[in-house]
Amino acid sequence: MKSQRSIAVLGAGNMGTALALVLARHGRPVNVYCIESDVEDDINRRGRNTKYLRGIGIPANVRAHADIATALRGADTVIVAVPSFAVLEVIGLAVPHLTKGATVAIVTKGLDEKKLLPKVEISRNLLPAPFRTRTFAIGGPAIATELAESKPGAILLAGKDTTSRNRLARLFANGTLKVAVSDDVRGVGLCMSLKNPYAIGLGLCDGLGFPMNTKAFVLTLALEEMGRIVRAAGGDATTITTLAGLGDLVVSGFSSHGRNRTYGERLVKSRTKDPTRLDLITVEGIASTPLALRLSKKHKVRVPLLTAINACLTADARFERPFVEYLKHLSLL
Ligand SMILES: NC(=O)c1ccc[n+]([C@@H]2O[C@H](COP(=O)([O-])OP(=O)(O)OC[C@H]3O[C@@H](n4cnc5c(N)ncnc54)[C@H](O)[C@@H]3O)[C@@H](O)[C@H]2O)c1
């Protein structure tokens, strides 16, 4: 009997574990690269990941491995789900062990500090040439816990090669998860990276006790600014209203799960900007905000809302003040 090709997931956090669960439903071996020995043990011995995805059982065909070569052995599909700060290092480690013909899909958000391009594009360019057209960005409103619990939703796969994109879409799609596709890797990558700074702004609205009308107004301003940056930086103007733009921004800025939104909320009246002291682990918007601002300046895009959010993150005290001042003096004309 022909053995089934495996799927590798690089990263055993909230999203990596959730995507491993989605893909495990096909019954194929899913090998997760995991650098934390307690998490590896939890997955392999107890069928759970208490640290990152509490309360959800993990089936036996999902195995965690501390060795990236083992996780990648024989994998025809590789999902990259590590945080922004680690993605280039992990891609570098993965390259020598990729199976010929494998498809790569990256869910990591964030902008590269030097090139001011989405990390997903920089990651793709680190791969050997034959893998690049088969590398995809996974965008859209994808709260890991909801994916893991099979709640209805949709993601967006962006990449050029239609054959491998359709194959990947079939792998993710199931009765509850729909998969949309796009050619606009730049635009989707930018939306994935820009939504976190604006989600912090939407969190500031919550911390300040603003009603829904005000928050919807700020959301609209955020979407307009994001659209201008995406267009100026080479993305497709229509991507802003897709799952990757509007969809992800709504989820990130309104969901109680959103780490960036929660960070913004907790920043109000706080004495600290340190996310760990605010009970939060990864808040990618903190690093992305100044980079998004640099990107806007590079392309001469006016972004007063983003500028105000960045000023909150650089303030020494009364962090919410620049945001409140911005809204007070806002002119819609
Ligand atoms: N959580 C979500 O709902 C969600 C949704 C869409 C996209 N994403 C994106 O997915 C990426 C991962 O997010 P997450 O929520 O899973 O983060 P997380 O903090 O829950 O988990 C991160 C995981 O990466 C591992 N890791 C860190 N550095 C590593 C390294 N050098 N090598 C190998 N593994 C390493 C950690 O051990 C941990 O298992 C982020 O870019 C995030 O924006 C997350």
Domain-by-domain residue ranges, the chain? Answer: 6-183, 186-328
Distance from Cα 269 to the centre of ligand 1, integer Å:
28
pLDDT in tens, 3-52: 679 999 999 999 999 999 999 999 999 999 999 999 999 999 999 999 99
Q: What is the pTM of this model?
A: 0.95
Find where tokens 């100044």 sit. Answer: 290
Please say whether the beta carbons of 207 and 260 come within 8 A. Answer: no
Per-residue model confidence (pLDDT) at position 280: 87
Distance from Cα 127 to the centre of ligand 1, integer Å:
20
Give dist(CA 285, CA 291) in Å, integer. Answer: 10
Q: Report which ligand 1 atom has the smallest distance to the Cα of 12.
A: 39
Distance from Cα 80 to the centre of ligand 1, integer Å:
9
Q: Report which ligand 1 atom has the smallest distance to the Cα of 89.
A: 31
| Binding site membership of 293 for ligand 1 (Cβ less than 6 Å) | no
pLDDT classification of 332: cutoffs 50, 70, 90:
low
Closest CA to ligand 1's atom 34:
11
Give dist(CA 87, CA 316) in Å, integer. Answer: 30
Distance from Cα 139 to the centre of ligand 1, integer Å:
14
Mean of per-residue pLDDT scores for the chain: 96
pLDDT in tens, 176-208: 999 999 999 999 999 999 999 999 999 999 999
**Alpha helix locations (H) across 173-258?**
185-207, 212-232, 248-254
Q: Which CATH number fits domain 6-183: 3.10.180.10, 3.20.20.70, 3.40.50.720, 3.40.50.10490?
A: 3.40.50.720
Q: What is the CATH number of domain 186-328?
A: 1.10.1040.10
| Binding site membership of 16 for ligand 1 (Cβ less than 6 Å) | yes
The DSSP call for residue 98 is P
Q: Which of 114, 119, 160, 195 is catalytic?
A: 195
Catalytic residue status for 195: yes
Helix (H) / strand (E) containing 165: helix 162-172
